[in-house]
Amino acid sequence: MSQLKKRVFKGAADGPVFLVTGTVHGNEKCGTAAIGRLVMEIEAGLVSIDKGTLVCVPVCNPRAYALNQRQAEANLNRVMVRHSAPTLYEHHLANELADIIDGCDFMLDLHSYSSGVRPFLFLDTDTPAHRAYAQALGIPYWITGWDDLYADAQDLNAGDTMTYAKGAGKLGILVECGQHEDPAAILHGYHALRRALAHFGLTAAYEDAATAPPQINRMTKIITKDKAGTFTRAWQHLDPVAKGDAVIQYDDGSVLAAPEDGVVIMPAPKAESGTEWIYFGRADS
């Protein structure tokens, strides 16, 4: 019986299969939360997969996740090989995960760690493609040299997700998003995921809030509700408007138009008479 729950989102156009995995270690839940946010946004139409296929496995070790501990019977990130005669719980998970990894082109594996706040990634395999992928993720700290360090200790190194992915010919990176309990780790993981999807062309370009310059708008005009009317559309805060656009249709037949090119600010369609109904603003620096 299948242990792993998958969510699959297909774009309208053909493209690569991108796999994101969370909670390979049961107490590293930031990836699950980051993936959960993205799934919610896709379902709400806030993020669209333009091409290719996104495969999400939010919880790779369900039993350890439920126990909030690293593993149930074995460290999944040390037994991530195919097991012809599985005996331990994680052996079964590894077999399922192997099938899923085999079906992808690119992979992102989200983990967290026990001490420290800096998100980092492992550049285990140093090729131009891995460097470009790592660069795209926006993770400020990279760790390399793992494979060399463990060259003489294969039993400590074999059987992890990235070694499996590499052996299967897949381009993958493992990100340590931050400390297990740090809420910021969820955001680091989320931003990395969004950047990875953009890097491989599944979504439009993505700039996360942490690195994008602020978009500043200056409030220039306030409209209080002085007579009955309705918004010409369901205005959202910071929707752009052009000078002359009809913004409010009054019941008496007249129209309130945007005073200049800019944005609407804090529209309140249910405002009481005499209170703030909508504001206008324009880009400022």
* Positions that interact with Zn ion (CB under 5 A): 25, 28, 111
Long-range contacts of 236-240 (CB under 8 A, 24+ apart): 236/264, 236/267, 237/264, 237/265, 237/266, 237/267, 238/263, 238/264, 238/265, 239/263, 239/264, 239/267
Residue 109 Cβ, how far from Zn ion at the closest point, in Å? 8
Instruction: Give the span between the Cα atoms of 167 and 177, in whole angstroms.
Output: 24
C-beta closer to Zn ion: residue 146 or 231: 146
Rounded to 5 degrees, φ, ψ at 102 are -60, -30
C-beta closer to Zn ion: residue 31 or 281: 31
Residue 28 Cβ, how far from Zn ion at the closest point, in Å? 5
C-beta closer to Zn ion: residue 22 or 138: 22
Structure tokens at 216: 């500043």
C-beta closer to Zn ion: residue 162 or 196: 162
| 172 neighbors 149 (Cβ within 8 angstroms) | no
List Cβ neighbours of 190 (8 Å cut-off, separation of 6 or more): 33, 34, 37, 38
| 248 neighbors 255 (Cβ within 8 angstroms) | yes
C-beta closer to Zn ion: residue 26 or 229: 26
Residue 176 Cβ, how far from Zn ion at the closest point, in Å? 7
Residue ranges of alpha helices (H) inside the chain are 30-43, 62-67, 89-102, 128-137, 146-149, 154-157, 161-167, 183-199
Residue 25 Cβ, how far from Zn ion at the closest point, in Å? 4
Instruction: Give the span between the Cα atoms of 60 and 109, in whole angstroms.
Output: 10
CB closest to Zn ion, residue no: 111
Residue 100 Cβ, how far from Zn ion at the closest point, in Å? 18
C-beta closer to Zn ion: residue 111 or 188: 111
Residue 98 Cβ, how far from Zn ion at the closest point, in Å? 18
Alpha-carbon dihedral 166, 169, 175, 180, rounded to 10 degrees: -70
Residue 259 Cβ, how far from Zn ion at the closest point, in Å? 55
C-beta closer to Zn ion: residue 29 or 170: 29
Instruction: Give the span between the Cα atoms of 94 and 84, in whole angstroms.
Output: 11
The count of other CB atoms within 10 Å of the CB of residue 242 is 10
